[in-house]
Structure 1
Amino acid sequence: MKNSLILFVFLLIHSLSWGQTQSNEDVYLFSSFRDNGQDGLHLAYSLDGYSWKALNDDKSYVTPVIGNTKLMRDPCIIQGPDKTFHMVWTVSWNDKGIGYANSKDLANWSEQQFIPVMAHEPTALNCWAPEIFYDEAKKTYMIYWATTIPGRFPKSEGAGDEKYNHRMYYVTTKDFKTFSDTQLLYDQGFNVIDATIVKNQDEYVMFLKDETRTPPQKNIRIARSNTLTGGYSKPTPPITGAYWAEGPTVAKIGQNWVVYFDKYTNKKMGAVQSADLTNWTDISDKIDFPTGTRHGTIIKVSKSVLNNLMKGK
């Protein structure tokens, strides 16, 4: 009887301890948009990175109010070292800047700010799919996006859709109030959009969309560099299959890297998985997203952040 009581107490303590540990674990959050991005930011969550559930009854958390056509496409969110969430997005199909807002809880957002990152280029057509990377060593944020400047890269003119011939550009900032001059980030002679960067040990790994239309590519590839702001390699062969894919975002789940993307002509999300960032397996049949999800970004957040969102705070 005494031994049974001791065993019961041990199991009870262990169970309570495990529950406390579980409650402190991070969960996955996915920011996205619907349709053309006219209604704003949508959020979904997942405990395992594969099965996703919409938050807020799949209604928008933020209504876009800036830019030529007031859209909120390609929302990218990261959490800074001060726990503030920073978001950038595409405000219009044709504009010379991007949108920015910040939040402490992902539900209540600051006033929306238009950052005119390409205002110095009189013929620039667009600023698409901006993303943010936090450089821990320099304590600086890098914002990067795709822009077409007609005539700037003549060798690939006419290989994209209509008038577009994109390259990747970037600025840096410490406070989202003052910004560095705009610089070219990636040019390997082809039309490129939708870049996203992760750090793996001492290497920066860029996932990008080859936007070439003629002959058609429309796939996700990888480039690598030893520095964040330049020196990225020529792209690898595609890591996605015989379908058009865009908007990659990346998470490390267990021992595997998972790249999520928008199979936009098929109107559904897809994913590929790798343990070494070299050999990839399609796992699109293993993921489940809310109907209508368009591409965005995945981040990890604390369960307390998720709990507040689920309570409607």
Structure 2
Amino acid sequence: MYFASDNSGPVHPQVLDALARANDGYQMAYGADTLMNDVRDKIRGLFEAPGAAVYLVATGTAANSLALATLSEPWQTIFCSPMAHIHEDECNAPEFYSGAKLTLVPGGEKMTPQALRQAIAGEETRGVHGPQRGPVSITQVTERGTVYSLDELRALCTVAKGYNLPVHLDGARFTNALVALDCTPAEMTWKAGVDAVSFGGTKNGLMGVEAVVFFDESKAWEFELRRKRGAHLFSKHRYLSAQMEAYLSDDLWLTSARQANANCARLTEGLRAAGASFLHEPQANMIFASFPRGVHKALHQAGAVYHLWGATLEGEDDEEMLACRLVCDWAISNEQIDAFLALF
């Protein structure tokens, strides 16, 4: 009954098999391995972007930070939600790698076009003394488990383009959002106005690899330099390539995300039936729910693993509603989900 994070689940067996195959013999280093050619072609194909620049790094923080550094200048500011992953969970890495600051667009887990326009208009108002306008970064799936619709993405990109600003999509859970929207990668990125995407795999069954895709190929060399200077160019790069190649073969990236979302839907249905309330409507593979302290105690005693949200088990009132975060990955079984729900 492990719902702490989709980072905590196992690596998919097909990925482990691919790593074992990649371990045979010798390959050129630093991304010159033959597998990377296949990965590049596959990602360009699925994004319908034959000219896209495609790179691999080992962590989502590196993907986001290096992409945003490439899209910005040190005197600029990056616009994002107060609940964006780059603000809440990356220890100022985007600022470290870019030299730029973050401007938090007022609102909830999602930015609105109106709030974004107001935030952008509020910068470049102090001449040389203030930050200049820089990229817009959107987290998809959001840190509260919700998903921007294609219309919402297009509307935000339209605002950014009105100020000639690039747009970055933090897609750590890219495929969970994609299957929730039942759209194509192109529709959720460059067709909506996105310039660069962090295409995540680690949360969806990979050991540790993320792709960075630039739809403007002119950014390619700068990213390569920043990746090397930032210590994120792997010498034995073939082990990154092998993971991503397996991920993109036989639709593993899609089937894993569909399974994670289906697991979350099963858990959501059971929680509703048990009388839980939701802080945000679940749309992908992450739930924020409230139920009584007494139930939380029973779950923890039975070995369930998940995070309470702004709450603690300590307290005498077992009827007090406590919030928690529950995340489903591709590997959690129906039996584990049902055992969790049986304790309500």
Normalised by the shorter chain, which TM-score bucket? under 0.3
What's the TM-score once normalised by structure 1's chain length?
A: 0.27
What's the TM-score once normalised by structure 2's chain length?
A: 0.25
Name the structure with the higher strand share. Answer: 1
Higher RCO (CA < 8 A, seq sep 6+) = 2
